[in-house]
Amino acid sequence: MKKCKYHSVLFILCTGLVLLLANSSVTCTKVAPPAEFKITSLNIEPPKVQIGETVNISILVENIGDAEGAYPATLLINDIKEQIKVTNVAPGESKAVTFSTSKGKAGTYKVKVGDLTGTIIVTPSPVPIYSNPQTYRMVRTLTIKNETARVNSLRIWMPAVTDWDSQRNVVSENTSLPPSSVWKDPQFGTGILFWQFTDKPSGGSSLVITDQLTYTCYEINYQIDPGQIPAYDKTDAQYILYTRSEKYLEADDPNIVKTAKEIMGNKTSPYDIAQSFYNWVMAHMTYQKVGGLKGAKFAFENGYGECGDYSALFVALCRASGIPARPVVGRCLRPDDWHVWVEFYLPGYGWIPVDPTFGDSGYGNYFGHIDNKRLIFNKQYNIVLYPNPYFFPSEQSGLQTWFWEYQGFQGTISADIHYSITPIPGS
């Protein structure tokens, strides 16, 4: 009896369920497939930047599904989640998603969005630190004194003072006798002032040219990461120009080449190599007056010379090692005298100043640093005068002072130049 009772209850419940289903209206709805996304076209622009510069990273998101959906694009830099951008994309539609980023440290960064990968190369900033600007007034006076000569034609060449990287805002204030022509070497940037006079100065008289101008000189300091220097483009015309061997800069001298390799050792960074040359030149050289520029081979073989010879030896060692380098010809104001220092080139940075003579004289470290007490005339040796002289070679070792010649009859005639360079208070 008990067993039948349970069956009856179950039957009644089941019957009720059947009746309920029979009397209910059931609607079946078809569920649409979800959105489906395809990620393509990873673009990094630019792929190589300097510290602090912005890089734009973009992808193309395509919805290949049948329904609109939101895609959360995630940017990973070196496998670290950096940004997420959610983009709604309709079926069959493609949308670009762009991220922007910048880095404060040089290096190579791995980029990943979805399954797409790429790299960003961040190099050091090529801009040196220019500081402590000082404005000077330069007064240059050239005097040609003729006692007994007969001068039919007088020709004079002097260096022009122009803007360079650390020498700016050159403003001419007064020229007593304007030059006949002003010429600038298109290859090296050297400026040349040229005067030509007829029947001047006559016997017993003098011709005076006074040139007055102002300019601002900056101190330069470089902060360089030796391990983050890009490779040289050895096909570049400037690279070829400043790694060649030439008079006074004998970079192909076998002994200089051999010594450069020995000093380099296993070093690969051009910064480290150049610093080794700087230290070696100071150890090798002793300052001694030699009556003008003698050059790198002389300095190497004799171990002494003037500032131009210190500089020539450093340049020749650099060039022998494939590092572009050049002399800088001008004046220093501590003490006030003619002076030559150098620059070598690093990709991603620019021209790095070096003064091995000052370094050897105990003024401090002058590798990658130059003070604001300078006057630059030009940045080369073997300067070709223009127009060409009549009575001496047009190519000269440097253009620091002046060159002159005259046609007529010989007698007693002399030339002298004087510079006065004074800081302008409050500048």
- CATH number at 299 reads 3.10.620.30
Q: Is-contact 150 409, C-beta < 8 A?
A: yes
pLDDT for 4 = 42
Residue 9 is assigned to a structural domain of this protein: no
Kindly state the tokens that stand for 329. 């010809």
Residue 36 reports pLDDT greater than 80: yes
| Same domain flag for 98 and 173 | no
SS3 228: coil
Residue 7 is assigned to a structural domain of this protein: no
C-alpha distances (whole Å) from 226 to each of 39, 326, 350, 359, 372 are: 39, 20, 14, 21, 25
Residue 9 reports pLDDT greater than 50: no
Residue 416 is assigned to a structural domain of this protein: yes
C-alpha distances (whole Å) from 51 to each of 58, 80, 111, 164, 272 are: 20, 19, 17, 25, 21
Closest CA to 152 of 114, 85, 198: 198
C-alpha distances (whole Å) from 54 to each of 102, 104, 126, 225, 271 are: 5, 11, 16, 21, 27
Kindly state the tokens that stand for 237. 């015309």
Residue 5 reports pLDDT greater than 60: no
| Same domain flag for 77 and 185 | no
Weakest mean pLDDT among 20-24, 292-296, 331-335, 363-367? 20-24
Residue 382 reports pLDDT greater than 70: yes
| Same domain flag for 191 and 176 | yes
Residue 11 reports pLDDT greater than 60: no
Mean pLDDT over residues 124-129, rounded? 67
| Same domain flag for 42 and 171 | no
Q: Which residue has the higher pLDDT, 2 or 423?
A: 423
Distance, CA of 239 to CA of 244 (rounded, Å): 9
Q: Is-contact 379 164, C-beta < 8 A?
A: yes
Residue 12 is assigned to a structural domain of this protein: no
Last residue of a domain, one of 336, 367, 398: 367
Q: Is-contact 211 139, C-beta < 8 A?
A: yes
CB atoms within 10 A of CB 56: 12
Mean pLDDT over residues 348-374, rounded? 93
Task: Give the model's confidence band at 227: pLDDT under 50 very low, under 70 low, under 90 confident, else very high.
Answer: confident
Q: Which residue has the higher pLDDT, 389 or 335?
A: 389
| Same domain flag for 232 and 191 | no
Instruction: Give the CATH number for residue 46.
Output: 2.60.40.10
| Same domain flag for 148 and 182 | yes
pLDDT for 31 = 59
Mean pLDDT over residues 330-351, rounded? 92
Q: Is-contact 75 42, C-beta < 8 A?
A: no
Residue 213 is assigned to a structural domain of this protein: yes
Residue 17 is assigned to a structural domain of this protein: no
| Same domain flag for 234 and 304 | yes
| Same domain flag for 115 and 140 | no
Mean pLDDT over residues 52-72, rounded? 92
Last residue of a domain, one of 123, 138, 164: 123
Range of the domain at 239: 223-367
Weakest mean pLDDT among 47-51, 108-112, 170-174, 295-299? 47-51
Residue 167 is assigned to a structural domain of this protein: yes
Mean pLDDT over residues 76-92, rounded? 94
**Length of the chain in terms of residues written:** 427
Total domains, the chain: 3
CB atoms within 10 A of CB 78: 12
Residue 29 reports pLDDT greater than 50: yes
Distance, CA of 87 to CA of 85 (rounded, Å): 6
Residue 244 reports pLDDT greater than 80: yes
CB atoms within 10 A of CB 416: 12
Q: Which residue has the higher pLDDT, 24 or 176?
A: 176
Weakest mean pLDDT among 343-347, 367-371, 392-396? 392-396
Task: Give the model's confidence band at 228: pLDDT under 50 very low, under 70 low, under 90 confident, else very high.
Answer: confident
Instruction: Give the CATH number for residue 167.
Output: 2.60.40.2250
Q: Which residue has the higher pLDDT, 279 or 107?
A: 279
pTM above 0.85, yes or no: no
Residue 334 reports pLDDT greater than 90: no
| Same domain flag for 239 and 360 | yes
| Same domain flag for 230 and 353 | yes
pLDDT for 125 = 63
Residue 92 reports pLDDT greater than 80: yes
| Same domain flag for 72 and 145 | no
| Same domain flag for 193 and 267 | no
Distance, CA of 97 to CA of 85 (rounded, Å): 8
Distance, CA of 287 to CA of 298 (rounded, Å): 13
Last residue of a domain, one of 324, 345, 367: 367
Residue with tokens 């046609």: 407
SS3 349: coil
pLDDT for 230 = 86
Q: How far is CA 19 from the centre of its chain?
A: 90
